[in-house]
Amino acid sequence: MAVILKTLSVTKKFGGFTAVEKVSLSVSQGEVRFIIGPNGAGKSTFFKLIIGYHNPDEGSIIYKDKNIEKLKLHERINLGMGVKFQAPSIFSELTVLQNLSLANNQKNALNLNDLLNDFSLEKEKNNLAGDLSHGKKQWLDIALSTISKPDLVFLDEPTAGLSVDETRVTGEIVKNLNKQGITFVVVGHDMDFVKQTATKVSVLHLGKMFIEGSVDKVLSDKGVNDVYLGLS
């Protein structure tokens, strides 16, 4: 599969503190790539670098063979990226259906009833988005970030605060979208979600790339278990 996203020796410093140090990453089309690591590992900073919230001090970020490290977030989105931040960015005063209708691209307009069904939101379609449960707000936000069928979608902690059942449904939603051709880069720490959804995992530790590979390889690595203080 072709490489869709690549970072080359990306570094970001804040004053005298190096948050991300020479991190190189290569994501192929069709992957569900997880970026995990303990608190303070540099995950959030790295995520913000690849979406354009921060610019790197050193290194390159390449999307579909185009250098994008100097582009702003909206410019990267215009190239075919979708972003879902940890806190849902939905229109709380509009209904679920109105949220989806606003985002539905007229060129490739999707059937909204199918979409509601795919995201387990059919019963809430006429409810205000602000009145949804936390889990359903997350699903609506994922729907909004993927409705234009971007090639690559970034998800930041999409299962934070979700129940076990909601996490499982979120995993099925991501897997279904992945089958439809969307590549994902996910920052998270929920190991059940990682095991259910990931095709490849990259572990950051102290701002550096620690290990990457298949889910089995990474989660069975003694060093990873030590980093996570005995996580099984």
Q: Would you write out the chain's pLDDT as a tens digit for each of its 232 residues?
A: 799 999 999 999 999 999 999 999 999 999 999 999 988 899 999 999 999 999 999 999 999 999 999 999 999 999 999 999 888 889 999 999 999 998 886 655 678 888 899 999 999 999 999 999 999 999 999 999 999 889 999 999 999 999 999 999 999 999 999 999 999 999 988 889 999 999 999 999 999 999 999 999 998 998 988 887 544 4
Q: Which pLDDT score, from 0 to 100, does residue 65 have?
A: 93
Q: Which pLDDT score, from 0 to 100, does residue 29 have?
A: 97
Beta-carbon count within 10 A of 231 CB: 12
Query: Spelled out in words, what is the top-level CATH class assigned to the domain 3-219?
Result: alpha beta
Q: Which pLDDT score, from 0 to 100, does residue 232 have?
A: 42
Instruction: Supply angle C-alpha 109, 80, 44, rounded to 5.
Output: 120
Beta-carbon count within 10 A of 65 CB: 9
Q: Which pLDDT score, from 0 to 100, does residue 109 have?
A: 60
- Amino acid making up residue 85: F
3-class secondary-structure state, position 156: strand
Query: Any residues with CB less than 8 A from the CB of 94 and at least 6 apart, and which?
Result: 102, 128, 129
What's this model's pTM, rounded to 2 decimal places?
A: 0.92
CA–CA distance, 118 with 107 (Å, rounded to integer):
20
Q: Which pLDDT score, from 0 to 100, does residue 225 have?
A: 85
